[in-house]
Amino acid sequence: MRHSIFVLAIAALGFIAVAQQPQQSATPSPTPVAPQPEQPATPTPTPPPQQPEQSATPSPTPVAPQPEQSATPTPTPVAQPEEPAAQPTPTPQRVSPQEIERLKAEIAKASNGHRAQLNGELANKLVDMADQQFVAGQSVKAHAIIQESFEHATAAHDEALHTRKKMKEVEIHLRETQRHMEVVRRTLAAEDRSALEKLEKKLADYRQDLLDAMFSPRKRAKQEQPK
């Protein structure tokens, strides 16, 4: 009895195993997937090279070197010929009668070159006194003083040429006398100018005589003789 039950159990298990096999074959086989065409590998982008980190402080912009400029030579100043200094126009000064008398007294005692120099000085002072008379309206008296001034200038000229002394000093006094007369003449009326203008020309001739005597060829030759 037990043996029969055991045989039936084994047979039942075999039947069950056979019955399960067709069910598994009934499961459809998976459809094979068609192979996909291989896609070309996309090249991996090359990362750009990393720039070196710049410091926060900006680098100074290099300055292009400037072309060297040739040094411009400083022009040498051209020496200009010196012009003779302009002589200031003499202004007539007030002269006292006492000073005129003192000079006349010294002339009476002096001699030679010193007397010529004093006469030239007195001629200059008398022009100043004549100007005072013109300003005061004393035209006749002023002209008389101008004539006296010219007489002392003549005496100074003659004395200096005769003695050949103090010629330079006398020439300076006559130059000042001539210029004083010119200053006074410009302040006068037309009828009073002509007399002074004539005397100015004569004083210019006196001065030229003295200059010729001082720088005559005979004196120059004597100075150039070897010692």
Question: What are the mean pLDDT values of the chain's consecutive 10-residue runs (227 residues total)?
Answer: 62 58 47 52 54 51 56 55 47 77 93 91 95 93 96 96 94 96 93 93 96 76 50
The CA distances from residue 92 to 65, 126, 151, in Å, are 72, 10, 19
Which of these, 186, 133, 185, 177, lies nearest to 152 by C-alpha position?
A: 177
Q: Where are the domains of the chain?
A: 97-215
- Rounded to the nearest 5°, which phi and psi values hold at 195? -65, -45
- Give start and end residues of each alpha helix (H) in 26-166: 97-109, 112-135, 139-163
pLDDT of res. 221: 47
Tell me how far apart the alpha carbons of residues 86 and 84 are, in angstroms, rounded to a whole number: 6
221: which 2 tokens? Answer: 């030759």
Helix or strand (DSSP H, E) at 213: helix 190-214
Type of residue found at 199: L
CB atoms < 10 A from the CB of 144, how many?
13
6: which 2 tokens? Answer: 């055991």
Q: What is the DSSP string of 167-211?
A: HHHHHHHHHHHHHHHHHHHHTS-HHHHHHHHHHHHHHHHHHHHHH
- Statement: the pTM of the whole predicted model exceeds 0.95: no
Tell me how far apart the alpha carbons of residues 34 and 140 are, in angstroms, rounded to a whole number: 156
Which of these, 159, 163, 201, 166, lies nearest to 182 by C-alpha position?
A: 201
Tell me if 132 sits within 8 A of 91, measured CB to CB: no
pLDDT of res. 191: 87
The CA distances from residue 29 to 32, 190, 193, in Å, are 9, 157, 158
Tell me if 148 sits within 8 A of 95, measured CB to CB: no
